[in-house]
Amino acid sequence: MREVIRAKNSGFCFGVERAVHESFGFINSDGRIVTLGPLIHNTDVTKKLTEKGINEISIDEIPSLSEQDTVIIRTHGVSMEVYDELKARKVEIIDLTCPFVINIQKKVRKYHGEGYKIVILGDENHPEVIGINGYCENSAYITKTGNLDIPLKGKVCVVAQTTEKQANWIKLINNIAGTSKEFIAFNTICKATEDRQKSAEELSREVDAMIVIGGKSSSNTTKLYEICKRNCDLTFHIENAKDLEAIKEKIKYAVKVGITAGASTPEWIIKEAMENL
């Protein structure tokens, strides 16, 4: 008999829950409702939004918007430049930037204004990091691994993408401490991310197979996968229950199967996969 165990902390976080819940409630009978980029990194959810008439546009498509249109800013936030562009277009702005991301943007703006060199631990191509960098005139030094390939001179202010790994944060702080005389560091890794990573880490140590559920482009899901894979060889990243078909054979002898899910994975997808297993 197989035992399916779910990680204590998994699935929608506070910021994503709020963004998804609110977005499904919007109606605009005069114009379009669009999100700047996919609302969350989960195709099942974005497909449902499209069915409701809420489509995604890229930042480059902002000039195509008219005053009647409504624009939803997702949890990752946008740079000041993009925000001002939307205001200039006089569209209705629904800002669902996660309050934890707004906190990082404010800190970066403040310390950049005070002459600090901003360092961001994160992925330079991730929209959250692109948005944050926009609060220091795109001047941040960005590192994904926590390694520094240039010595940082002068005062330094360090922040992290909310979904980063603690281990990389500690590595970065140690590296900065070795080269910089004056620095201020805000560990802005979100508690939801930390909790999910911790529970996934613990569970992956005690199961025969581990299933990580979430969008393939979701950075926090990918990090959960990496953490679990270190402890459990039979770790698989799936988007939904349908993907289980392809790995069924590989996990057929697994008696204890662990389940975790990224912060952008809806409850119904997790439940369906668990029932299927």
The smaller minimum CB distance to ligand SF4, of residues 193 and 221, is found at 193
Angle between helix axes 14-24 and 43-51 (nearest 10 degrees) is: 20
Q: How far is the CB of 104 from ligand SF4 (least distance, A)?
A: 9
Q: Using CB under 6 A, list all residues that contact ligand SF4.
A: 13-16, 75, 98, 100-101, 162, 190, 192-193, 263
Strand partners, 94: 72
CA-CA distance, 265 to 260, in Å (whole number)?
A: 10
Measured from the CB atom, is 6 or 76 closer to ligand SF4?
76
Helix (H) or strand (E) holding 238: strand 235-238
Smallest CA-to-CA distance from 100 within 194, 166, 206 is with 194
Q: Which pair of tokens denotes residue 1?
A: 């008999």
Q: How far is the CB of 85 from ligand SF4 (least distance, A)?
A: 23
Cβ–Cβ < 8 Å for 141, 133: no
Provide the 10 A C-beta neighbour count for residue 17.
17
Out of 124, 128, 137, 194, pick the active-site residue: 128
Q: Which is nearer to ligand SF4, 19 or 257 (CB)?
A: 19
Output the smallest distance, CB 193 to ligand SF4, in A.
5
CB-wise, 163 or 235, nearer to ligand SF4? 163
Q: Which is nearer to ligand SF4, 181 or 191 (CB)?
A: 191
Which 3 state secondary structure label does DSSP give 255? coil
From CA 262, how far away is CA 11, in angstroms rounded?
Answer: 5
Shortest CB 129 distance to ligand SF4, Å = 12
Residue 268's CB is within 10 A of a number of other CB atoms, namely 12
Active-site annotation holds for 182: no
Q: How far is the CB of 154 from ligand SF4 (least distance, A)?
A: 29
Task: Select the residue whose beta carbon is closest to ligand SF4 and give its number.
Answer: 15
**Helices and strands in the chain: count of H runs, count of E runs:** 10, 12
**Residue 173, SS3 per DSSP:** helix
- As measured in angstroms, the least distance from the Cβ of 15 to ligand SF4 is 3
- The answer for residues whose C-beta is within 8 angstroms of residue 159's C-beta and 6 or more apart is 104, 107, 108, 118, 119, 120, 121, 132, 185, 186, 188
Decide: residue 25, CB within 10 A, 0-12 exposed, 13-18 middle, 19+ buried.
exposed
Residue number with CB closer to ligand SF4 (75 or 265): 75
Structure tokens at 145: 């691994």
Give catalytic residue positions: 128
